[in-house]
Amino acid sequence: MSRQGGQVLHFHLRLFQCLGFHGLPLPGDGDPSGWRRRMRAWGLFLLLALSGLVLVCLFSDEEFLYQEDMFGRVNDALKYVFAELAVLAIYLETVTSQRDLANFWYLHFRLSSRMMEAGSLRREFRQYRRFIITLYGLILCELIMFVVMWWIQPINKQFLLFWTTYEPLVVLTYLRNIQFILHMELLRQQLAQLEQELRLLAEYSRFACSGTGRSFPGFETFLQRRLLQKQRVYNGVWEMYRSFQGAFNYSILTVLLSINIRIAVDCYFMYYTIYNNVSNIDYFLIIPAVLEIPAFVYASQSCMVHVPRIAYQLHNIVPSSGSCSYPDLSLQIQNFSLQLLHQPISINCMGLTVLDCSFLTRIACSVGTYMIYTIQFMPKFSAPYV
Amino acid sequence: MPSSEPEVQPLLQQFQQLFFISKIAGILPQDLEKFRSRNVLEKSRSGMVYMMVTLVVYVMFYNLLIYSFGEEDRSLKATQSTLTFVIGLFLTYIGLIMMGTDQLTALRNQGKLGELYERIRLADERLFKEKCVLDNSCIGRRIRIMLIMTVLFELSILVATYIKLVDYTQWMSVLWVMSAVPTFINTLDKIWFAVSLYALKERFEAINATLEELVMTHEKFKIWLRGESDNTTSLDSSQPPQYDSNLEYLYKELGGLDLGSMGKGSVAGSGKNKVAPVAHSMNSFGESIETASDKFPRNQMSSNLVYESELANVSKVEEKLNNLCQVHDEICEIGKAMNELWSYPILSLMAYGFLIFTAQLYFLYCATQTQPIPSLFRSAKNPLITVIVLSYTSGKCVYLIYLSWKTSLASKRTGITLHKCGVVADDNLLYEIVNHLSLKLLNHSVDFSACGFFTLDMETLYGVSGGITSYLIILIQFNLAAQQAKEAIQTFSSLNDTAGLVGSVTEMDNGSSTLHDLVSTTMLTPTTG
C-alpha cells in the first residue's frame, strides 16, 4: 500500500471518513463522484440520527436529564443543546464545504512531494507524532476517567441514560477537534519545512559571502531562483491555510463553544453539588474537555509562530557583503518579505477571534467571570429548589 | 459624460426604487426629478423643508405615542421594580435619537453624497479603461431583497404586536403604528450604506479578478511555451505525477479550483525542475538558467499569434498595474469618505442594537416572571415576537459589520494577487514595480469604524456578544435580588402582624436610635432571606 502521505495518514483519514467528517474519497479509492455522493448521504444520515437522539433526550419522559432539581436539569439540557449545535455545524459543513477540503488535500499532496517521501512506518509515526499523541492521549484520558467513575460512583438509571446518550456527542466533538489539529499539523509541517529550507539557503549564502567560501558565476541567479521557488511554495501553503479556513469555518466556532459551555456549566455544577452536598461526582469527567481547548490552541499557535521565523530566516540571507553584492537578490528578498506581510497566517474562527494562546487566557477569564456571576445566584436559587 | 462612455452605467441607476421610498419617507433631501432623469443626487431646498417637516411630525407623533401609552406605566410604577422602570425610561427615546441622527446626518451630507457617487462613477470609468467590467444588476436585486426583508420584518413585528398585545378597541391604539417608524427609517438609511459598501467590495473584487486573470493567461502562455520546447526539457515529463489522479479529477470536478492556484501548482512543480538541486554541479545549473532566459524573447516573437500574455511585456504591464493600484487607492479613499458620512448613524445604530438587544432579553425574563414591563417594550411579552425583533435588530448590525469586514478583506487581497503577478512573471523590472506597489497597498488599507470608537470587524462582534451576556446576567441577578428583598419585606410585615412580639421588639429598637436601626435591619435581613 504505497499510499500517498503514508499509511498512518490514510488510516486516520479513513477513520474520519467513517465518522462522516471527511467527505472526500481517499487516494486510491475508485469512482470518486460516487464516493462523494455516498459520503454526503452518510453525513446527512448521521446528522439526522444524532439530532433525533438529542430531541428524544430533551423531550422524553425518561430520566435522561438530571432529576433531583430544576437547576441540574437546565444544566443538562444546555449541554445537550450546545452539543446538538456542534453536531449540526459539523455535518452541514462536511456536506457543503467539500470543495475547500479537496483544495486543501490537493495542495497538500502537491507540496508534500518536496518533503520526505513516504518511508517506513516508524518514520511516519515520527512525522505525525504530535497528532497521534493528541488523539490517543485524549481518548485514553476520557476512557480512564470513565472507568474510574464507574468504579467509584454507584450507577443509577439516570446516570446511565445521560452518559450513554451524551457521550457519543462529546466524542464526536472531540474527534472533530482532533481533525482540526491534524489539518493544522499538516500546515505546520509545511511551514517548518519551508523555514528549514530557508535556513539552509541563508547559511549557504553566508558561507559563500564569508570570504573563505567562493561564490561562482551565476550564484546570484541561483539564489534568486531558489527564493522564487520558495515564494511559490509559500503561496501554496497560504492557499492551504485559506482552504483550511474555508473548510472548517462554523464548526471551529461551535465545537469550541460547546466544549467551553460544557466546562463552564460543569465547573459551576461542581461548585453547586459541593455547596448542596449532592452525592454526585461526575463533574470529574470534564478533565478531558479541559484538555481539548489547549490542545487546539497549542496546534494553532505552533502553526502561526512559523511565519515570523520564516521572515527572520529570509532576511538572514546575505544579499551583499564587502566583496560581493547582489542587487537582484536583494530585490527578490524584498519581494518575498512583502509577500509575507500581505499573506499572514492567522488561524481564526470566522474572524471573531484569533486562536492563539491569548485566546486561552480570554477563555479562562470568561469562565472565571461567569463563575463568579453565577455563584452569586446560588443562595437565591437554592432556597426554592432544594 | 455618460453619453461619451455609454458602457459604464452609473451605480445610482440601480437605486431608483430605494431613492423613491427614501424620498417619501423623508430620509434624503435630494431632488427627485433630477435623480430620475439624470441619476444624480443634487441639493434641493424644497426637499430639505419636506424632510424637516417629516422629522418634526415623526417626533411629535412619537411623543404622543409615548404619552398615551405611558399612562399605564405611571400607574404601574409602584409595582414595577425600580430597575425595570429606570431601564424603560432610559431606553424610551433611544429609537427617536437614532432616527434623528439619521435624518440630521442626511441633511448635513446632502451635497457630499452626490459627490461620493460621482467619484464611484469616475472610478468605474477608470476600471473600464483597464478592461474591468462591472455588473451592477445584482446590486439592484440586492436592494429589492433588502427592501422586502425590511418590510416583512417591520410588518410582522407591528401586526403581531398590535393584534396580540395592544388593546385595539381604543382608537388611540392606532398610534402604535408610530412605534415602527424609527426602526423603518433607520433600516432604509442603512440599506443605502450597505449597498454602497457592497458595491465597493465588488469593485475590489473586480480588480483582484483582473489581476488573477493576468496571472492565469501568463501561466497558459508559459505552459504553451514549454509545450513547444518540450522535447528539449524531457526531464519535466519524466517526473511521475505527484498527486493522486482521483483527487485531481475531483478537484476539477468540484470546480473549486481557484484556477490560479492550480496553475501555480503546476508551475511550482516545473519551476522546481527547472532549477537544479544544490547537489547538482554548477555547470548544468548555469546552463539551465541560460536556456530559460534566452528562450523567453525568442518564443514570444513566434507566439504572438497564438498566445499573448500581458505580463510578458513589462512596460505595458507596468502601466496597467500602476493604474489598477491607483484605482484601488481611489476606492479605498471612497470607502473612507463613505464611512465618514455614515459614522454617526452607524455609531447610534450600534448603540441602539446593543442596548435594545440586552433590554429586550431582560424584559423577556421579567415577563416570564410575570413582572410588569414598560409598555413601549410590550413585544417582549411574547417570546416569538421577541425572537423576530432580536433577529431583525441583530441582523441589521451583524450584516453591516460582516460586510465591512469582507470589504476590508477584499481590499487586502489585492496585494496578494499583485505578488502572484510578480512571482509568475519573474522579471527583475517587474519585481521593482511590484515591490513599490505592494508597499503602497500595505499603507493604504481600508478599515471601517464607527466614529473611531470601534472598528467594524468580527472581533468587535465577539466583544459585544460577551458584553451582552455579562450585562444580562448582572441585570437578572439584580432583579432576583430585588424580588427576594420584596418577598422578604412582605413576609416580614406579615410576621409583624401575626406575631406582635417580634414586631414590638424591633419597633422598640427602631425608636431608640438610628444607629440601632441600621444594625437591626442589617442583622435581620439575612435571617429572613
* B17 or B295: which leads in pLDDT: B17
- What DSSP designation does A386 have? -
In B148-216 the beta strands, taken as DSSP E runs, fall at none
User: Given an 8 Å threshold on Cβ–Cβ distance, is A222 in contact with B289?
Assistant: yes
- Give the best-scoring range by mean pLDDT among A352-356, B66-70, B396-400: B396-400
pLDDT in tens, A275-331: 777 766 777 778 888 888 899 999 999 999 999 999 999 998 877 766 667 788 888
CA distances from residue B220 to A229, B3, B213, B426, B431 in whole angstroms, order as listed: 18, 38, 10, 15, 20
What pLDDT is recorded for position A5?
60
Residue in A30, A109, A113 closest to B247 by CB: A109
pLDDT-based confidence at residue B283 (cuts at 50, 70, 90): very low
pLDDT, tens only, B146-198: 999 999 999 999 999 888 888 777 777 888 888 889 999 999 999 999 999 99
How confident is the model over B292-343, as pLDDT tens digits? Answer: 333 334 344 444 445 567 777 777 888 889 999 999 999 999 999 999 999 9
Dihedral of the CA atoms A299, A179, A88, A62 (nearest 10)? -100
Q: Which residues of A31-68 are buried (b: 16+ CB within 10 A; e: fewer)?
A: ebeebbeebbebbeebbeebeebbeebeeeeeebbbee
**B276 closest CA partner among B299, B292, B294:** B292
**What pLDDT score was predicted for residue B88?**
83
Task: Say how many C-beta atoms besides its own lie within 10 A of residue B295's C-beta.
Answer: 16
Identify which has the larger pLDDT, B47 or B85: B47
Q: CB atoms < 10 A from the CB of A286, how many?
A: 20
- The answer to whether the Cβ–Cβ distance between B423 and A216 falls below 8 Å is no
Q: Does an H or E element contain A134, and which?
A: helix A129-152
Backbone phi and psi for residue A158, each to the nearest 5 degrees, phi listed first: -60, -45
Of B396, B393, B399, nearest to B377 (Cα)? B393
Rounded Cα distance between A159 and A321, Å, is 73
Residue with cell string 536556456? B291
Q: What is the pLDDT of residue B76?
A: 65
User: What's the complex ipTM?
Assistant: 0.86
- Written as nine digits, the cell of A114 is 518536496
pLDDT tens digit sequence for B369-396 = 888 888 888 888 889 999 999 999 999 9
* Phi, psi torsion values for B305, nearest 5 degrees: -75, -35
3-state secondary structure of A348: strand
CB contact under 8 A, B431 and A335: yes
**pLDDT > 70: percent of chain A:** 90
CA separation (Å) from B236 to B233, B240, B246?
Answer: 6, 9, 21
DSSP 8-state class, residue B240 = P
Is residue B347 within 8 Å of B186, Cβ to Cβ? Answer: no
> For residue B511, what pLDDT is reported?
42
Q: What is the dihedral of CA B127, B133, B138, B143, to 10 degrees?
A: 20
Candidates B415, B432, B469; nearest CB to A342: B415
- Give all strands (DSSP E) within chain A, no chain letters: 320-321, 324-325
DSSP reduced 3-state for A354: strand
Alpha carbon distance A162, A283 (integer Å)? 13
Condensed to tens digits (0 to 9), the pLDDT of residues B184-241 reads 999 999 999 999 999 999 999 999 999 998 888 888 888 888 876 544 333 333 333 3
Kindly report, residue by residue over A204-257, the tens digit of the pLDDT: 888 877 765 556 677 788 888 889 999 999 999 999 999 999 998 888 999 998
Statement: residue A35 has pLDDT above 80: yes
| A31 Ramachandran zone, left/alpha/beta (phi>0; psi -120 to 50) | left
Neighbours of A260 (CB within 10 A): 17
**In this structure, what C-alpha cell is assigned to residue A252?**
471551529
Three-state DSSP at B272 gives helix
CA distance B238 to A384: 80
Digit-coded pLDDT (tens) for A81-106: 999 999 999 999 888 888 888 889 88
Output the average pLDDT for chain A: 84
pTM of the model: 0.83
Q: For residue A383, give the nearest of A276, A274, A280, A271 by alpha carbon.
A: A276
* pLDDT exceeds 50 at position A384: no
Instruction: Name the strand (E) or helix (H) holding B449.
Output: strand B449-450
Residues 6+ apart with CB under 8 A from B180: B154, B157, B158
Percent of chain B whose pLDDT exceeds 70? 76
How far off is chain A from B512, nearest CA to CA, in Å? Answer: 33
B422 contacts in chain A (CB < 8 Å): 335
Task: Say if CB B188 and CB B150 are below 8 A apart.
Answer: yes
Size of interface A-B (CB pairs under 8 A): 170
Q: What is the pLDDT, as a whole number, of residue A23?
A: 81
In terms of residues, how long is chain A? Answer: 386
| A158, pLDDT greater than 90 | no
C-alpha distance from B159 to closest chain A C-alpha (Å): 31
Q: Residue B189 corresponds to which cell in the numbers above?
A: 438609511
Nearest chain B residue (CA) to A369? B470
Residue contact A32–B250, C-beta within 8 A: yes
CB within 8 Å: B473 and A373? yes
Which candidate from B246, B255, B438 shows the least CB-CB separation from A342?
A: B438
Q: Where is A378: in which H helix or E strand?
A: helix A357-385
- Among residues A129, A239, A286, A180, the alpha carbon closest in space to that of B420 is found at A239
Q: Is residue A195 classed as helix, strand or coil in its secondary structure? A: helix
Nearest to A29 among B246, B265, B278 (CB): B246
Indicate the domain borders of chain A: 3-381
DSSP SS3 for A105: helix
Residues 27-46 of A with CB under 8 A from B: 27-30, 32-33, 36
State the Cα torsion B512-B516-B521-B522 to the nearest 10°: 180
